Structure 1
Amino acid sequence: MQHFKNLKFRLIGTLGVVLFTLFYSFGYIVVHTLESSYKQSLEATLFTVLKDIKHDFTQRTDKETITLDDNKAEFDIPVLYAQIVAYDSLSNTPQILNKSSDLKGEILKIEPTIVQQIFDNPEKIVFSMMSDTKLTQRKIYIGTIFLAQNEFQMLFLQCAMPYDKHTPQIKEMISTLWMGLSLLLAIILVVAYILISKSLSNVQKVTNTAKAITAHDVHSIIPQTHIAYEIDDLIDTFNTLLSELQNAYAQVKQFGQNASHELKTPLTIIKGEVDVGLRKERSAEEYQQILKKVAKEVITLHEVIEKILFLSSTTKNELKHHFSEVYLDEILIDAIEEKRPLSEQKNLHLHVNTLEAVSVLGNAALLKIVIANLIDNAIKYSTAPATIEIALFPHELHIKDEGLGIKKEELAHVFEQFYRGDESKQTTQGSGLGLAIVKNILDLHDFGISLQSQEGVGTHIFVTF
Structure 2
Amino acid sequence: MIRLFKNLKFRLIATLGVVLFILFYGFGHIVIKTLENSYQQALEASLFTVLKDIKHDFHEDPDKEIAFEETKKEFDVPLLYAQIVAYDSMSNIPTIIQRSDDSEEETLNIEPSIIQQIFEHPDEIVFSTMSNTKLTQKKIYIGTMFLAQKEYQMLFLQCAMPYDKHTPQIKEMISTLWIGLSLVLCIILVIAYILISKSLFNVQRVTNTAKAISTQDLHSTIPQTHIAYEIDDLIDTFNTLLNELQHAYAQVKQFGQNASHELKTPLTIIKGEVEVGLRKERTAEEYQHILNNVGKEVNTLHNVIEKILFLSSSTKADLKKHFSEVYLDEVLLDAIQEKNALAEQKNIALRIETLEPQNIQGNATLLKIALSNLIDNAIKYSPKNTTIHIALKPHELLIHDEGMGIKKEDLEHIFEQFYRGDANQTTTEGSGLGLAIVKNIFDLHDCTIVVQSHVGKGTSVLVSF
Query: In 2, are the aligned partners of 1:350 and 1:387 still within 8 Å (CA)?
Result: yes
- Percent identity reads 68
What CA distance in whole angstroms lies between the structure 2 residues aligned with 1:277 and 1:79? 130
Moved more, 350-359 or 88-97: 350-359
Amino acid in the other structure paired with 2:47 = L
Instruction: Find the aligned partners of 1:415 and 1:309 in 2 and give their Cα distance.
Output: 17
AA at the equivalent of 2:386 = T
Say if 1:190 and 1:406 are closer, same or farther in 2 by CA, change over 3 A.
same
Deviates most, 317-326 or 167-176 = 317-326
Per-residue deviation, residues 376-420 of structure 1 (Å, max 9, x unmatched): 434433445x32334445456555544432212212222222111
1:366 positional shift: 4.2
Aligned to 1:8: 9
Amino acid at match of 2:210: A
For the 8 Å contact 2:336–2:372, the answer to whether it is kept is no
Q: Which residue of 1 aligns with 2:139?
A: 139
| SS of structure 1 residue aligned to 2:193 | helix
Which stretch has the larger CA shift, 314-323 or 134-143?
A: 314-323
2:435 aligned with 1:432, yes or no?
Answer: no
Pair 229,335 (structure 1): closer, same or farther in 2 beyond 3 Å: same
Task: Give the CA RMSD over aligned residues.
Answer: 2.9
CA contact (8 A) 1:402 1:457 kept: yes
- Aligned pairs, how many? 459
Q: Distance in 2 between matches of 1:74 and 1:86?
A: 26
Rounded Cα–Cα distance in structure 2 between residues aligned with 1:147 and 1:371: 111
Distance 1:232 1:99 in 2: 81
Deviation string for 1:70-107 (max 9, x for gaps)?
33333333222122222222212222222222222322
Shift of residue 322, structure 1, vs aligned partner = 4.5
Q: Report if aligned partners of 2:143, 2:159 keep a CA contact under 8 Å in 1.
A: yes
**Alignment map for 1:85-234 (pairs within 5 Å):** 85-234=85-234
The one-letter code of the counterpart of 2:150 is: N
Distance 1:147 1:399 in 2: 115
Query: Contact 1:400 / 1:460 at 8 angstroms: preserved in 2?
Result: yes
Report what 2:21 is aligned to: 20
Alpha-carbon distance in structure 2 between the residues aligned to 1:53 and 1:358: 109
**Aligned partners of 2:399, 2:162: CA distance in 1, in Å?**
112
The secondary structure found in structure 1 opposite 2:257 is helix
User: 2 CA distance for matches of 1:353 and 1:325?
Assistant: 17
Following the alignment from structure 2 to structure 1, what is the Cα–Cα distance between the partners of residues 127 and 397?
104
Query: 2:354·2:393 contact (CA, 8 Å) conserved in 1?
Result: no
Structure 1 Cα separation of the partners of residues 440 and 386 of structure 2: 28
| TM-fit CA distance, 1:337 | 3.0
Instruction: Find the aligned partners of 1:273 and 1:125 in 2 and give their Cα distance.
Output: 121
CA deviation map 1:240-290 (0-9, x unaligned): 222222222221221111111111112122223333444555555554444
Task: With the length of structure 2 as denominator, give the TM-score of the two structures.
Answer: 0.87
Greater mean alpha carbon deviation, residues 210-219 or residues 430-439:
210-219
Matched residue SS, 1:161: strand
Q: 1:260 to 1:147 in 2, by over 3 A?
A: same
What displacement does 1:212 show? 3.2
Deviation larger for 120-129 or 359-368: 359-368
Counterpart of 1:331 in structure 2 is 334
User: Using a 3 Å threshold, how does the CA distance of structure 1 residues 131 and 282 change in structure 2: closer, same or farther?
Assistant: same
TM-score normalized by the length of structure 1: 0.87
Deviations 1:11-53 (A, max 9, x none): 2222222211112221112111211122122222222332333
Deviation at 1:452, TM superposition (A): 3.7
- Cα 1:260–1:91, aligned 2, differ >3 Å: closer, same or farther? same
Gaps of 5+ in 1: none
Counterpart amino acid of 2:72? K
SS of equivalent residue, structure 2 residue 420: coil
| Bigger mean CA offset, 313-322 vs 160-169 | 313-322
The residue that corresponds to 1:72 in the other structure is 72
Whether contact under 8 Å (1:209, 1:222) holds in the other structure is: yes
